[in-house]
Amino acid sequence: MNVLDAEFVLGFMRMANDGWEQGWHERNGGNLSYRIKPEEVNSVKEQFVPKQWEPIGTTVPKLANEYFLVTGSGKYFRNILIKPEDSVCIIELDDKGENYRIVWGLVNGKRPTSELPSHLMNHEVKMSVSSGRHHVIYHAHPTNVIALTFVLPLKDEVFTRELWEMATECPVVFPDGIGVVPWMVPGGREIAAATSELMKQYDVAIWAHHGMFASGEDFDLTFGLMHTVEKSAEILVKTLSMRPDKLQTITPQNFRDLAVDFKVSLPEKFLYEK
């Protein structure tokens, strides 16, 4: 099958374009990766032309021999639908999880996303803790979440609780909460290690003054998670813009009641008294 006809590729491109239309991908901001299932690899692999091996910049032994569809470094999300072969690539990892090679795409040169270490270390953690169910890692620059990193304490408990409070669906959509990475230089192993450590507990990690990472099973769930967190952040920004306090809100006991009916478990560390 032609790579561009494969359902996982069409789903990837649609999600990337949805993120562009949300305004989360100015210039070349953000990146997306998908751990391709073996049957999907088989359906397109006659089109693969392997290039030379390159170091990943970190080691991900549990991802040895896996294939990923990833956005390209310096590529613009707004171009993915119209020139996918120029904007994205499929990479294969070696049998140690130390090197990658491009097997399809990026026809005009360039490398996979500058955040490849973060993507792959997140995939490695999520593959383990989700028993292989998570396939998508998404990094975006959503405006309202970034704005909040200038005014809220950079603590997991605070971001989780404040964002849970702004929309009743939030504790159901991300019951495990949200992690926060302090400002760090992007692109390297250090920020990747900090993010993947948080991904052991959470499906969402916020990078202070930069953006957000989300992990999920498929494109709908992962896009929906990013969208839900950013929508909640937008409501908080609007509320704080009207007045600094709330007249009423969802209380810790309200959350406990919701948890029973919706059969989610909400860690008590987020249900502190203010």
Q: Which residues are catalytic?
A: 115
Q: Which stretch binds ligand 2HA (CB under 6 A): 22-30, 82-90, 216-224, 265-273?
A: 22-30
Q: Cα(181)–Cα(197) distance, rounded to whole angstroms? A: 10
Interface with ligand 2HA: number of residues (CB under 6 A):
8
- Estimate to the nearest angstrom the gap between the alpha carbon of 133 and the chain centroid: 15
Segment contacting ligand 2HA by CB under 6 A, of 28-36, 53-61, 145-153, 235-243: 28-36
- Tell me which of ligand 2HA, Zn ion, none is bound by residue 254, counting a contact when its beta carbon lies within the kind-specific cut-off of 5 to 8 angstroms: none
CA-to-CA dists, residue 20 to 27, 118, 140, 259, angstroms = 10, 21, 9, 34
CB 187 within 8 A of CB 211: no
Phi-psi region of 30 (alpha: psi -120 to 50; beta: other; left: phi over 0): left
* Closest residue by Cα to residue 71 from 52, 58, 89: 89
Per-position x/- string for 130-149, each x denoting binding to ligand 2HA as judged by CB under 6 A, each - no binding = ---------x----------
**Residues 170/164, Cβ–Cβ less than 8 Å:** yes
Between residue 165 and residue 194, which ones bind ligand 2HA under the rule CB under 6 A?
186
- Residue 57 engages ligand 2HA in binding (rule: CB under 6 A): no
Residue with Cβ nearer ligand 2HA (162 or 222): 222
What is the contact mask toward Zn ion in residues 198 to 217, using x (rule: CB under 5 A)?
Answer: -------------x------
Q: How many CA atoms lie within 13 A of 261 on its CB side?
A: 9
Q: Answer yes or no whether residue 29 interacts with ligand 2HA by CB under 6 A.
A: yes
β pairing state of 99-105 and 88-93: antiparallel
Segment near ligand 2HA (CB under 6 A), from 23-31, 52-60, 78-86, 174-182?
Answer: 23-31
- In whole angstroms, the minimum distance from the beta carbon of 56 to ligand 2HA comes to 16
Q: Which of 3, 9, 30, 97 is the binder for ligand 2HA (CB under 6 A)? A: 30
Which residue number, 115 or 124, has a Cβ lying nearer to ligand 2HA? 115
Give 220's contacts (C-beta < 8 A, 6+ positions apart). none
Cβ partners under 8 Å of residue 82, min gap 6: none
Binding site for ligand 2HA (CB under 6 A): 28-31, 114-115, 139, 186
Binding site for Zn ion (CB under 5 A): 211
